[in-house]
Amino acid sequence: MDQAYLTGIEIFEFAGTGAEGQALPRRRGVLKLSCGADAGWSGCILSEGNVPFDLIRWAAYLNQLRRVPLHLVGELAYQERERWGPARASLVEEASRALQARMQPAATIRLVAAGASTASSVAWAGEREWLAAAPSTAWVGKAEWQAELLAARTGKAERQAELLAARAGKAAWQAASIAIDTLPALGVPLDDETLFRTCRAYYSVII
């Protein structure tokens, strides 16, 4: 993840609505940060009252996120909080955390798979070396017994790795399901089709 960079920086503007759906003099924003197929979301109030508002001008600070390593995005937002303002900084921090949390299960699966493969290779290499080192047929039986024990331990390690991978996969599925949730204050499903259809304005940073 240290080498990962944002591949998408998008913000959507929506009109505020009251309890019965009436329009309110309030604008809400939804920020989407993407890295490959994964995305993190956050929302905030962009403005209140019947005053002119320019989304492109408001969101110009997002251009600073270009070519920033993903694991440093939240740190940049923290450092720039005074200059950006609390709302802008929090918007980036929350979306960055959500994105990294969503990417973590996939990274765990890759790590577990690599560990299982390495453990298996080392174990079987040890078995071959043991058999090759047996000086006589008198030691063959002992070597075979040791090899079976080693293989059994390897099998146990592989089963444990598979269990960890399965748990990580479940976590990844649970994280992915967040994508169809809604931001409570907005009430709009977080998918691109719905967002584009219902938003008042949209701005995307060119990566």
Tell whether the model's pLDDT for residue 58 goes beyond 90.
yes
pTM exceeds 0.85: no
User: What class is the 8-103+179-204 domain?
Assistant: alpha beta
**Which residue has tokens 């008198």?**
138
Q: Would you tell me how many other CB atoms lie within 10 Å of the CB of residue 197?
A: 9
- Residue from 171, 184, 190 nearest 40 by CA: 190
Q: Is 36 left (phi over 0), alpha (psi -120 to 50) or beta?
A: left
Q: DSSP letter at 54?
A: -
Residue 111 in contact with residue 169, Cβ under 8 Å? no
- Mind listing the pLDDT tens digit for each residue in 84-112? 999 999 999 999 999 999 998 755 555 54
Secondary element (H or E) of residue 11: strand 8-17
Q: Average model confidence (pLDDT) for the chain?
A: 77
Report in angstroms the alpha-carbon separations of 203 from 4, 75, 141, 171: 23, 23, 72, 31
Contact 73, 97 (CB under 8 A): no
